[in-house]
C-alpha cells in the first residue's frame, strides 16, 4: 500500500502573502523576497525546509534551486532537517557564554536526554545553539519560537520545559508573525 504524498503548495492565504511580498521588489529582483518567503515556507511546512520545499520556493521566485539552498544553509534560523515541536535555540556568543550559557545547554542536555542538534524521542524538543540573539544585557538567553527567555537559570529552564510540555504545541516561528515582514 503506497502512502499518499501531500503536494507541496502554499495555502491560498499564504500564497497571497507571498505574492504581496514579491511585489515589493522591482521586476527581475524577486530573489530579494527569498528570506521572508523561506520564513513563511518553514512555518507552513512543519518547521523545516526540505529539498522539495526549497525547490518550490525557487519555482515561485523563478530562480535556480541552488540559490535557495545556498541561503537556507547559510543562516542558522532555517532548519534543513525536521525539528521538534519546541525548537530551543540557546545563544552561545560571548556575553551569554560569560554568564553561563554552557551550563544552560548542559542542563537542557541532561534534562531532555539529548545533545545539541538532536530531538527528543517523543519529537517534542530540539536543542540548538545559535549566534547572537540580540539580548546581551539579559544573558544567558534563548529563543523558542517567537518567544525570548532571558536571565536564565537551571530553575527557569526546568519551569520552561514543564510549561512547554503542558502546552504541547509547535512553537516555531509561525506565519501569523509574517505580516510584519
Q: Among 4-8, 150-154, 160-164, which stretch is predicted with the lowest mean pLDDT?
A: 4-8
- Which pTM was predicted? 0.79
The percentage of the chain sitting over the pLDDT mark of 90, rounded to a whole number, equals 81
Q: Which residues contact 8 (CB under 8 A, 6 or more apart)?
A: 45, 52, 53, 56
Q: Enumerate domains of the chain plus CATH numbers.
A: 12-74 (1.10.10), 86-167 (3.40.30.10)
Phi-psi map region of 136: left, alpha, beta (phi>0 left; psi -120 to 50 alpha): alpha
The Cα angle at residue 100 between residues 94 and 106, in degrees rounded to 5: 115
pLDDT in tens, 40-79: 999 999 899 999 999 999 999 999 999 999 999 999 889 9
Amino acid at each position: 500500500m503506497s502512502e499518499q504524498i501531500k503536494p507541496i503548495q502554499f495555502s491560498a492565504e499564504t500564497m497571497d502573502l507571498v505574492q504581496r511580498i514579491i511585489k515589493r521588489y522591482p521586476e527581475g529582483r524577486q530573489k530579494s523576497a527569498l528570506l521572508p518567503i523561506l520564513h513563511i515556507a518553514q512555518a507552513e511546512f512543519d518547521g523545516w525546509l526540505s529539498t522539495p520545499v526549497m525547490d518550490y520556493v525557487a519555482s515561485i521566485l523563478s530562480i535556480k534551486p541552488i540559490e535557495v539552498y545556498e541561503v537556507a544553509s547559510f543562516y542558522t534560523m532555517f532548519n534543513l532537517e525536521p525539528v521538534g515541536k519546541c525548537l530551543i535555540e540557546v545563544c552561545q556568543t560571548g556575553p551569554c557564554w560569560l554568564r553561563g550559557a554552557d551550563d544552560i545547554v548542559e542542563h537542557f542536555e541532561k534534562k531532555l536526554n539529548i545533545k545539541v542538534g538532536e530531538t527528543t524521542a517523543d519529537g517534542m524538543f530540539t536543542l540548538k545553539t545559535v549566534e547572537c540573539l540580540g539580548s546581551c544585557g539579559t544573558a544567558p538567553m534563548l529563543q523558542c519560537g517567537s518567544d525570548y527567555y532571558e536571565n536564565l537559570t537551571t530553575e527557569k529552564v526546568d519551569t520552561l520545559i514543564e510549561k512547554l510540555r503542558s502546552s504541547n504545541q509547535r512553537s516555531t516561528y509561525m506565519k501569523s508573525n509574517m505580516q510584519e515582514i
